[in-house]
Structure 1
């Protein structure tokens, strides 16, 4: 399905805070940045992606048909020059800023002052939730304030420090449009609900064979639970591993795809539960369907904390598109997303996870039937085309306003 527009359609510039290999560039086109770009391209718009590279290498796995520009990111005061350089490279008539950060939304508002361009703000995470949420306060002593400003690693030298994030949150009403991808974020910030979409023509289960994929990725002979993403404490991987301890099935394994770029949490998991874990490397989005095909069950065991409630786990649409049995927790939008296309347990409940794993393997045909329902639901509500249909009126509104 391709939406047609005339050549008068303006260009859309997507602004990302970090396009490095440890940032959005790490995921090879699989995260929201690139899902939005694909959905906008699907509507017939020209798209460019712009972002900073903070102390890391530029990405090498972004799809080649998505033009992108990067600028070396620096802490203050050097960030002023970096920001000026990026601003000068923005060509879009519509700016799509990802998250209310100074490095994205702040730059978009500055560009709007210069050119009267339209600004859409996308909020796919609650940034302050990582710093204590509404309880976060900055009340330094005079001495601490001086350190935060003057020391090379001072807290206020970082362009997206919580101090600045809180102020950007207070300015979200200055956006011409707001999009969000969970009900939690919509209640907090308003805006239009645009859930993540999956390329369901790429993630097509009939193209792949489970046993062939297992053999290719060294998983033959095992019953495979899969977690395709970066483990972090709030994502509940530990609860799954405790469940595997309870079951103690020798042929059961948890395959973690990609691992964490943030800290040594992977190593902590391996040191305690290494007997159950198989680590698979990060791979480009084009390879992910083949990897996911090897799974018997996809696990999305989020814990019930603000960071998890604000997120739309992309692992869900990986599993749904590939018609895989899904074992997830009742957190945030997860029950609404999968409805009767998966299996739900309470968060932080290893005993329920263990019981559900056992039930699924004892009733695999029933579980795979639910996976087929999840695939149908994904195509209808959580595909790239569905995402495009949500974005079309927002971009059309911006187009009309710009061309008047």
Structure 2
């Protein structure tokens, strides 16, 4: 367990800086992977873009700086007009400035690093993910950027990265020949900056961050810091703007009772448990509608091949269309399994459904019970029989299920809106960054009067 630092109380000097000058420090968010397999998926609906929007809502000027190894770097990132950026072009997504630096190799070379560092213009550097390709580069930038005062460094941890490689049990024990291949071959494993060995090493460096933010209890208990749950655009995800029957008709779902999974299926997400529950119920009008697909493998196709009678696959949809898609659901399902990877996540599909006032069926994994706080239906993880029983209970009294959905919407407005996320971030920065810098010597440049 690392870096459990209590939040400091805001100093009068730091607070008065904002009150008197009416300005906020600018923030550069560092993202190691802006490709369609990384943060570039879902067209800006993942954590770094939520952080950027939340900071903007608090008056902080924000830019995002990252890499992409895809042809036409950042091609999956689109502006509101739908145009795609050229390599390293500054692009507004919801008025967020994005700099995408192209990569020719897994690790950035000197030219790419120079371009990357030149884009980091913020008074605060905010590294997204505990990885060498983001936090590691932010630490390197701190060492090489000697020409300006030391800038505060924030680290956001939204996953336990090592959980994908065995967690605390991971060991790298190559024989000499394997070590040579991993180090010397052009595609050698150790030439990738985010190899699990390096992920283990960088966990030891979290104390170098001036502030750690995360989004759930599991990660906070492991790494410390301040919990900032993901916010939802509750104006976009507003059930009053959509008609459920019209949405079902638009997507060919009329006549079905729709259990919706809005996301990319992965084994730890428990989709197989829902499908096994549908096997038990054997009611042909119950359908699992999967919206999206895995960018990593053919797991979603494997599911369709095994359960063709239960699955309707809508494929990936633009983020702006997702409220209309979710409006078609009778129930949104979040059947996470009890794994470290699932415990370390904040499932965005959960607050998608809550914001749209949908009945939620989820499992008791991680923060899910606390997020719902009684405004949904819960089953134990890895328990298809319990999921089947809850599906039956939901449709036995669907009016009550809809009432719980309305309560979930109210809870989202209070605790999981972009405004709530922005307020939490602002408080964390005030208490842990601006109150701890030495006034007039290390305070961000934007606070110095001319």
Q: TM-score, normalised by structure 2?
A: 0.86
Q: Report the aligned-residue RMSD.
A: 1.8
Pairwise mapping of residues 73-222 of structure 1 onto structure 2 (< 5 A)? 73-75=103-105, 78-113=108-143, 114=145, 115=148, 116-222=150-256
Match of 2:30 in 1: 15
Q: How far off its partner does 1:4 sit?
A: 9.2
Q: How many residues align?
A: 402
Q: How far off its partner does 1:64 sit?
A: 4.7
Q: How far off its partner does 1:310 sit?
A: 0.5
Change (3 A) 1:294 1:82: same
- 1:361 is paired with a residue of what secondary structure? helix
Aligned counterpart for 1:382 among listed residues 416, 419, 442: 416
Change (3 A) 1:156 1:249: same
Match of 1:361 in 2: 395
- 1:169 is paired with a residue of what secondary structure? helix
Q: How far off its partner does 1:254 sit?
A: 0.9
Tell me the alpha carbon deviations over residues 122-174 of structure 1, each in whole angstroms, 9 at most, x when there is no partner: 00100000000001111222211111011122110111111111111100000
- 2:78 is paired with a residue of what secondary structure? coil
- 2:40 is paired with a residue of what secondary structure? helix
Change (3 A) 1:205 1:13: same
CA distance in 1, matches of 2:71, 2:191: 18
Q: Is 1:44 aligned with 2:78?
A: no
Q: How far off its partner does 1:66 sit?
A: 1.7
More moved, 228-237 vs 109-118: 109-118
Match of 2:43 in 1: 28
Pairwise mapping of residues 39-78 of structure 1 onto structure 2 (< 5 A)? 39-55=54-70, 57=72, 58=74, 59-61=76-78, 63-75=93-105, 78=108
Tell me the alpha carbon deviations over residues 322-362 of structure 1, each in whole angstroms, 9 at most, x when there is no partner: 11000000011100110111000011111111111111111
CA distance in 2, matches of 1:55, 1:35: 23
- Specify the structure having the higher radius of gyration (Cα): 2
CA distance in 1, matches of 2:353, 2:30: 28
Tell me the alpha carbon deviations over residues 251-299 of structure 1, each in whole angstroms, 9 at most, x when there is no partner: 1111111111111101110110122111123223221111110000000
Consecutive unaligned residues in structure 1, runs of 5 or more: none
Q: Is 1:319 aligned with 2:334?
A: no
CA distance in 2, matches of 1:300, 1:56: 34
Runs of 4+ in 1 over 6 A off after TM superposition: none
CA distance in 1, matches of 2:185, 2:351: 44
Q: How far off its partner does 1:65 sit?
A: 1.8
Match of 2:365 in 1: 331
Q: How far off its partner does 1:77 sit?
A: 6.1
Match of 2:87 in 1: none
More moved, 137-146 vs 366-375: 137-146
Structure possessing the higher relative contact order (Cα contacts under 8 Å, 6 or more residues apart): 2
Match of 2:86 in 1: none
Consecutive unaligned residues in structure 2, runs of 5 or more: 1-17, 80-92, 438-442
Q: TM-score, normalised by structure 1?
A: 0.95
Q: How far off its partner does 1:71 sit?
A: 1.1
Does the aligned pair in 2 maintain the 1:149–1:155 contact within 8 Å?
yes
Q: Is 1:251 aligned with 2:268?
A: no
Match of 2:405 in 1: 371
- 1:92 is paired with a residue of what secondary structure? coil
Does the aligned pair in 1 maintain the 2:107–2:193 contact within 8 Å?
no
